[in-house]
Structure 1
Amino acid sequence: MMDNNTIAAELLGYRVGSTKILEAVSFRLAKGESMVICGSSGSGKTSLGRLIAGQIQPGSGRLEIDGGLNRLMVDQQDHFLSLSGRRSTYYGQRYENQGMENSPSIRSYLEKVATKANLNVSTEAIDQVMESMHIAHIHDRKLLQLSSGERKRTQLAAALLQKPDILVLDQPFVGLDVEARKTLAGLIARQMQHGVSFVLICSAGLVPKEVSRVLELHQGKQQQWCSIADFKPSIPSYKGMAEAQSPELLASMPMPDEQFEDIIRMRNVNVTIGGKQILNNVNWQVKPGEQWALLGHNGAGKTTLLSLVTADNPQGYTNDLVLFDRQRGSGESIWDIKNRIGFVSPELHLYFLRGEGIFNTIPGLQTKAHAHYDALTCLEVVVSGFRNEIGFATAPTDLERDLAEKWFPALGLSHLRDRLFLHASLGEQRSLLLARALVKSPSLLILDEPCQGLDNEQTSRFVHLLDQVCRHLNTTMVYVTHHRSEIPGCVSKLLELADGGVSYSGAFY
């Protein structure tokens, strides 16, 4: 009997193959209440969210939800992978103007959402949801040109169009700057007041005060089910950060074998995409062995700036841009540049995940998996970093395989070495992609929000290991984040962007 409960779970269990994901989870959420699911990475948070949203079914136990309620889930990843609904494997395609006129804008995407979900919504309703999500002023912007904050708000607008009674949000605050997080928390609070029950999957430190209840998980088991007032995180923090985590790994990493005068040199760089000025007269010089933080609000131009450095943006040819001592357009190939760079970004993560295209990832609709991505093991993903491969990895040398294997204990992921990448949690996947970026000891390391989706233990472990690696190899690094507290101690330089221009460049403060 549901009684006065919106959700009732009793001894809930879930497995993927022989791997136990959830075990004996029990809770009851009353009508009108909202809850947070928190816990360590890999603890089963997303799987529980998918169970509540009806995307998967429990393997054991009982889950009762009023059948008349409209349930939706907004994934942590937005899957805006392709133009006009076509799957793309070319990361730099988002920076090409050619063909961009045929790719969906925010408005056309929301119209497509309404059509595919058989919603009878008016233009005014779409205008209203865009206004509520602070994206009305960019309604004609193409999906692949959006910043991470704009992409998140577009995801939520698509869900709200469908008027959900229960809305599951998987890590909604990830990738957002401080102001964007406040804006989103305010929107969630208003929707709660309008009767929407939220299930928020987020870290313990980001639990909104309007939430009624908290469910904490660890290794698939329930640690706490309590009121927000009584909640105190019980998962222990990572200890032992003062000691080197993997001397064997550091000793085995080869020193970069090339010497350069300038890693990056930009002079009065400008980038315009779709008629909009994204970067405006940017000057920046990065010398070998320097570690930089790149900061700025969502939409400040950080990702576009990095796209010039990674050779994904063709406007690098039309600017005064030097990479690894060579002027862009002087005969170097894209792969000459990429082979010297270790790179991680939220968007790159998507290329290792399932997805058929923009319009098949509307909240509430299912996506089929790609068999060749499904077949990748975690070790193969790390090995692929030696040659910048995505999807398939050529056979590694014995030395490469041995070095790749050393990263697993260093990151606390020894149990994942031979497991399928898609069976790891999103946080564990991100850790593996960090290892992929570092495995070849690159001349330049670019980390675009690298700790996005990691729990506190993983973040502490990785930031400390990264600090050791940079000091040991004197690695040149550019580190992008919205959280100053996670910036490694080796960082001594800061470039700060605001509205496409440089607001500060100098010593890190």
Structure 2
Amino acid sequence: MEDIVLRGEKISFSYDGVKVLKDCSFSVRNKDFAAVVGSNGAGKSTLLKICLGLLKPDQGKVWLFERLIDKFQEWDKIGYVPQRILNLNLGFPATVEEVVSSPLYTTKKLKDMSRKNKTDLTDKALRAVGMADYKDRLIGRLSAGQQQRIFIAKALISSPQLLVLDEPTTGIDNETEEDFYNLIYKLNKDDGITIVMVTHDYTDIKSMVNRVIQISDGSISDNIHNYGDGDRK
């Protein structure tokens, strides 16, 4: 039996009495690259937040690594990149190293490790996203695409098995977007990290993903689609 990393069963959710999600069921296997797709306002980000315990559904259940989310505690297994902070203050007084390493000082499992180990983990995460040379730069001085790479490095700091991204290419140009997708594909294909990524249009990543969760009118239609083996064309 294949390992199920994430599973939702009959999830429903409403905002101010308006039903956004209705009886949504889905699953994501270990090492999948899954795209969550749908039009603007379809409920993609809402579904993602429910899966991460940031929102509580009106009904339904979520399992993470085969444990009900209410009993799940191994959050270091999951890296989360929320929608990009647009118009980040250019004078934001934090270096790349400080941003990437911040989970090492707040995560119970990681905060007691030595300073050297923290530095080594930070350097490893920055190398993984091709940003090792930017360690001492101010985060606010980087381009939108560079900032996204830094946020991914931050999510990778705990060596997660599942990386969740919410419309990560919002506000970046087409060339940077292509580089970004190639990075995510590499993390999935070469490093074996399970990817769940919300996007409003999966045309550009169709050849990368092997699973699509499509939301329409509050429901997951056709549940899961498979596109071959997910090899990059």
Match of 1:290 in 2: 32
Which amino acid in 1 is paired with 2:35? A
Q: Give the CA deviation at 1:420.
A: 1.7
Q: Which amino acid aligns with 1:327?
A: L
2: CA distance, partners of 1:405 / 1:458: 22
State the match for 1:310 in structure 2: 52
SS, match of residue 27 in structure 2: strand
Distance 1:454 1:466 in 2: 15
- Once the two structures are superposed, the pairs formed by residues 29-68 of structure 1 within 5 Å of their partners are none
Q: Which residue of 1 aligns with 2:23?
A: 281
SS at match of 1:473: coil
Match runs of 1:413-492 below 5 Å: 413-487=131-205, 489-492=207-210
Q: Describe the shift of the 1:298–1:387 C-alpha distance in structure 2 as closer, same or farther (beyond 3 A).
A: farther
Distance change >3 Å, CA 410–CA 321, structure 1 → 2? closer
The alpha carbon displacement at 1:394 in A equals: 9.0
* Percent pairwise identity: 30
Segment of structure 1 superposing worse, 472-481 or 269-278: 472-481
Q: In structure 1, list runs of 5 or more residues that go unmatched.
A: 1-259, 355-368
Q: Count residues with an aligned counterpart.
A: 223
Residue equivalent to 1:398: 116
> Could you tell me how far 1:387 is from its partner in structure 2?
6.3
- Give the number of the structure with larger relative contact order, counting CA–CA contacts within 8 Å between residues 6 or more apart: 2
Matches of 1:472 and 1:303 in 2, distance apart?
27
Query: Which amino acid in the other structure matches residue 45 of structure 2?
Result: T
Q: How many angstroms apart in 2 are the aligned matches of 1:456 and 1:399?
A: 36
Give 1:246's aligned residue. none
The CA distance in 2 between the partners of 1:302 and 1:415, in whole Å, is: 35
SS in 2 for 1:382: helix
Structure-1 residue corresponding to 2:7: 265
Following the alignment from structure 1 to structure 2, what is the Cα–Cα distance between the partners of residues 324 and 311?
14
CA distance in 2, matches of 1:288, 1:454: 29
Aligned to 2:61: 320
The Cα offsets for residues 229-259 of structure 1, whole Å up to 9 and x where unpaired, read as: xxxxxxxxxxxxxxxxxxxxxxxxxxxxxxx
Aligned 8 A contact 2:161 2:193 in 1:
yes
State the match for 1:37 in structure 2. Answer: none
Determine the C-alpha separation between the residues in 2 that align with 1:284 and 1:495: 7
Cα 1:490–1:297 change in 2 (3 A) is: same
C-alpha RMSD over aligned residues: 3.1
Give SS of 2:4's match.
coil
1:309 offset after TM fit, Å?
A: 1.2
Q: CA deviation at 1:415?
A: 4.8
Q: TM-score, structure 2 length as denominator? A: 0.80
TM-score, structure 1 normalization: 0.39
**What SS does the corresponding residue of 2:136 show, helix, strand or coil?**
coil
- How far 1:488 sits from its partner (Å)? 7.2
Cα distance in 2 for residues equivalent to 1:444 and 1:410: 15
The 2-side partners of 1:482 and 1:424 are apart by 25
**Cα distance in 2 for residues equivalent to 1:396 and 1:500:** 47
Distance 1:396 1:497, change over 3 A: farther
Structure 2 residue 83 is the aligned partner of structure 1 residue 346:
yes
Q: Give the drift of 1:304.
A: 0.7
SS at match of 2:209: coil
